[in-house]
Structure 1
Amino acid sequence: MKKIQRLFSLLFLLMALLFTGISVNAQAKLSIGRETARQKEKRMQWWTEGRFGMFIHWGLYALPARHEWVKNRERINNETYQKYFDEFNPDLFEPKKWAKEARAAGMKYAVLTTKHHEGFCLFDSKYTDYKATNTSAKRDLVKEYVDAFRAEGIKIGFYYSLIDWHHPDFTIDKYHPLRPANDDDTAAYPALNKGRNMAIYRKYLYNQVTELLSNYGKIDILWLDFSYPGKLGKGKDDWDAVNLLKQIRKLQPGIIVDNRLNLEDYTDGADFVTPEQVSTKELEKYKGKVWETCQTFSGSWGYYRDEDTWKTHRQLLDLLITSTSNGGNLILNVGPTARGEFDYRANNALDSMAQWMHANSKAIYNCTYAPETFLVPDNDKLTYNAATKRLYVHLFEYPASGTLTLKGYKGKIKYAQFLHDDSELQYKEDGNDLILTIPIKKPRFEIPVVELVLN
């Protein structure tokens, strides 16, 4: 009996090893390239160290000024939407101003919508007439953006919509402006799509991405948006996403690509995940991943004249600090007006970020979450620079008592100061804790930062 038991145990072990091997091989097959983890880390280094970027959503939807999805929301056909193309005349477009504002706000990279879901191209594509060079602008607006931001030392990113509501071969789905009155009426779609050929659109998409990555020099980021797989949606097969990503990597080997190609089954199908418009509390669950949260100053991505839910300076700082303190990036969006400039509310928000970042950027750049051995003071947040051995305490709740208690910090630090002016903060031991003396009068920053030099 014991011999039989040993035989069964041996057989079970062999089967487990076999299945493990199959699993490993299957996992190995789900890889598009051959980049090692170390190579990826090096390629991504500037991005993870920069932490902060600018998104720019700009297109024909700036003219109706009723949300960038206005064509979808109001079910506008191409003929009706044409008036915005005819009237597009960004006479105040000065991308050098945009770039200077981004740099002043502390943004290390920028991503511009070269084409959004409406299908209008800000660049001079040879595959369409629906482009800026055929409007009153009469020029390639993407080229001017690239030149201006590159001159300011800001990394260059392109957003390109996988979706195209203008292209005649892009098949009508649940998000298309020409969808049936009942979005879920599956029987109505075949007739609506008669004569449309997704294969033709797929080639168009491939050709335009190739143009963008061939005609403007080194491109640092490509933001593709977005997949929605399912019966009435579109996913990786509709984009031929694997071959598209191969082409992207071939043309720009160092580029960083987002996760919206629906390639979750591949270990290298994306470089970072993109939680969109989520709360700071939700961002905490991304700790340990490579991620960037995309957020708006207001409730819309494109210019929305009458929208009035603009985030406060404190809310914007909270997003930036919370992102860094959980090992992620923040990309904040501006939606320029149809005349091509940032409106006053966006400028005010950028100016407020510029003031804070001028004094406190060391607590953001090259920083991440703190080691678990450092307890976070109540209601505050920590960021950490491993290279310089500096820990930053972001004082969300400024201590009215004139003291800040750091529990369990005894013997861990050798100096303390405010980051904005390098003014010393004295401290004393209290058991295993340290008690910092903080001035009663709060510094002029919404969220002051204490810099701790670690042992």
Structure 2
Amino acid sequence: MTQQASPQGLTWFQDARFGMFIHWGLYSILGKHEWVMHTDRIPVPEYEKLMAQFNPTKFDADAWVRTAADVGQKYIIITSRHHDGFSMYDTALSDYKVTNTPFRRDPIAELADACARHGVKLGFYVSLLDWHHPAYRFRAESGLAWEDYLAFLHGQVRELCTQYGEIVAIWFDGDWPRHPITPENEYFLPGGSFEYEKLYDMIHELQPDAVIENNRHVKPLPGEDIQGFEQDLPGENTTGFNETTIYGLPIQVCMTINDHWGWSRNDRNTKSARRLVHVLVKSASVGGNLLLNVGPTPEGEIPPLHQERLREVGRWLERNGESVYRTRAGVIPPTRETVSTVRDGHHFVHVLDYVSDCVILSGVPAHVQKARHVASGQELEMEREGANFFVSAASDRTTIYIPPELRDPYDTVIELM
């Protein structure tokens, strides 16, 4: 019988609302994003040579976790192994790992210690496919079977669930439709079942509070706790990776700060802090988290511009965090300019754009009698038409006036109570 995450684990995850995604590995050395082995058709022996160059002398786990904590990110999910097959922790199941590089240290162990110090939770990205493992990509030549790869995959997940203390999530990636074997898709060879029921039950038994997300399913499977959206919000479907339907599960939107997940030295298409705040609150407005990615450099630093964008979002959260953390999907219908969240009966309207000197809403619950500007605490002028404060009917029209000096350039938040 496939289990689910514990109610307290799922509640904590939904309350957190904002996390840091980290893509870091051998590909960072090349500075051309995490798919470079595939896009540049790099043979395994050539790609393996990057191990001798991996020595991030500026890596500071405490600095990474402090950044996340300072900007209001409640958890971190880092790539334990990406599609290139290189393990970023001290696995006992492969020699193709970070502790066999000149760096020699286990960065995930150091991150786990730093997370414990700063009250941030840690989780792991796990690639289901592996461009390096002989039982995945080279079965014909190696004489290995699909079951050999399954033992490796399940064994690594067991290590992650038992070696680093309490974890918040396991985030799976790479279960795409099967492809015929051709030179063009040699990196996506057909395989068998990943035996999800066994895999998920093992995670839930070892880490009862951890949530499971598999980012490549159209419809979540039994045992999965979170539905993922990549680079878009539910209903937008701008990337083509995800269905727009929400299947009754809490959601998580993962997004890059520029165009790539791994370090890309020539990628200057950095999103504005305003855009990132909007993605955060739009995610929260439909009951979702935002997992915002950084791609550290080969030296082990989070790019300074990405840190600054994160800190801008953090400064907005310092003023308006009560409208994001511990909230659930809003019940006030969104407009072109607004979305909403709700917490403990208090409704938060996020004004993302201005087309006039007032905000006009419909469907505001009838019990609402006051409006407050969250950042300043100042009461706002509000008019209601058609509201009946003695029954549970919704108002037809609610108008709120926001003085120009109180308008936030990213998102002005109004509490209705």
| Superposition TM-score, scaled by structure 1 size | 0.80
Query: Where do 1:35-434 residues align within 5 Å?
Result: 40-171=6-137, 193=141, 195-232=143-180, 237-260=192-215, 266=221, 268-279=222-233, 281-282=235-236, 285-286=245-246, 288-371=248-331, 374-385=332-343, 387=344, 389-398=345-354, 400-401=356-357, 403-407=358-362, 409=364, 412-430=367-385, 432=387, 433-434=397-398
Distance 2:301 2:196 in 1: 34
User: Whose strand proportion is higher, 1 or 2?
Assistant: 2
1:436 to 388, 400, 404: 400
Shift of 1:217: 1.3
Name the CA shift for 1:71/1:451 in 2 (closer, same or farther; >3 Å): same
Shift of 1:194: 5.9
Counterpart amino acid of residue 278 in structure 1: D
3-state DSSP of counterpart to 1:230: coil
Provide the alpha-carbon RMSD of the alignment: 2.5
3-state DSSP of counterpart to 2:306: helix
Question: Is there any run of 5+ residues in structure 2 with no aligned partner, and where?
Answer: 181-187, 238-243, 388-396
Name the CA shift for 1:236/1:153 in 2 (closer, same or farther; >3 Å): farther
3-state DSSP of counterpart to 2:99: helix
The one-character-per-residue Cα deviations of 1:101-152 (angstroms, maximum 9, x if unpaired) are 1112211111011111111112111222111111121111110011112211
Distance 1:384 1:339 in 2: 42
Counterpart amino acid of residue 349 in structure 1: R
2:2 to 4, 28, 32: 32
Distance 1:429 1:234 in 2: 61
Name the CA shift for 1:286/1:235 in 2 (closer, same or farther; >3 Å): farther
The one-character-per-residue Cα deviations of 1:343-398 (angstroms, maximum 9, x if unpaired) are 12211211111111111111111112222xx344552111111x2x2111111123
| Superposition TM-score, scaled by structure 2 size | 0.87
The 8 Å contact of residues 28 and 262 in structure 2, kept in 1 or not, is answered as yes
* Matched residues, number: 395
Distance 1:347 1:156 in 2: 19
Distance 1:324 1:49 in 2: 10
Distance 2:117 2:123 in 1: 14
- Structure 1 residue ranges (4+ consecutive) displaced by more than 6 angstroms after TM superposition: none
3-state DSSP of counterpart to 1:127: coil
3-state DSSP of counterpart to 1:436: strand
Question: Is there any run of 5+ residues in structure 1 with no aligned partner, and where?
Answer: 1-30, 173-189
Query: Among the aligned pairs, what percent are the same residue?
Result: 32
Q: Give the structure 2 partner of residue 26 of structure 1.
A: none
Distance 1:164 1:377 in 2: 44
Distance 2:121 2:43 in 1: 36
Name the CA shift for 1:441/1:264 in 2 (closer, same or farther; >3 Å): closer
